[in-house]
Amino acid sequence: MPKRKIDITDQKYGRLTVLQEVAPNKYARRYLCKCECGNEAVVYMNALRKGNTQSCGCLQKERVSNGNFIDLTGKKFGKLTTKSRQGSNRGRKVNWLCLCDCGKEILVASDRLLNGITKSCGCLREEKGKAVQEYNEKNLRVDEVFTPLLKSKIRSDNSTGVKGVTTVKRKNSIKYQARIYIKNEAIYLGTFDTIEEATKARKKGEEIYHKPYLD
């Protein structure tokens, strides 16, 4: 009697479910399989039956990841305390559920914790921002004027090379207009025929409007 042909369709091997037989590679029989992760793979029948292939490849990736796995449970990173592992991200970095000192929970990749990139749920950045703002209010603001703005460099789009002086095109000529800003208000200093005159007006404006806040 001829030997009965073995059919493994619909059987499961590891994470693989056999869908159908496909064209053999020379004399070796092969099957199309569906992995639990959703991927499909063509696998030799002998590799399935002997247990040599149990997934589309995702199982091996997980084993490699687990081999490099560092248990961070209960560790403290800045304001964050790790609670539990929560799978991996697209870059196969382990995600950790962390509890912030402020009470919020956040998912953070292990490399961001270990490299000190993420130290809070975001509240630490807010606290630092508030601290900078409080410092500015106390040390850099005089009568509602933020003094560093008075010392700011000339804007990159300034075409005259003089802070507060711009060109004004008239029908047959170019004029130079001088302005100065204080307390979010623009003060017009005049329009002049030459840049030298406009520069002089601007310097005079700085003496009147800026200098009292810088002394």
- CA 166 from centroid of its chain's CA atoms: 38
Q: Kindly indicate the confidence band of residue 2, based on its pLDDT and cuts at 50, 70 and 90.
A: low
**For 186-213, what is the mean pLDDT?**
88
**For 118-122, what is the mean pLDDT?**
90
Buried b (16+ CB within 10 A) or exposed e, 5-36: eeeeeeeebebbebeeeeeeeeeebbbebbbe
Residue 181 is predicted with a pLDDT of: 85
Q: Convert the pLDDT of each residue in 59-95 to its tens digit.
A: 777 766 665 567 889 999 999 999 998 877 666 678 8
Residue 35 is predicted with a pLDDT of: 93
Residue 100 is predicted with a pLDDT of: 94
The residue that leads in pLDDT, 194 or 144, is 194
pLDDT tops 70 at residue 130:
yes
Residue 188 is predicted with a pLDDT of: 92
The residue that leads in pLDDT, 164 or 60, is 164
Taking residue 123's Cβ as centre, other Cβ atoms within 10 Å add up to 15
The residue that leads in pLDDT, 91 or 98, is 98
Domain segments of the chain as ranges = 12-63, 70-123, 145-214
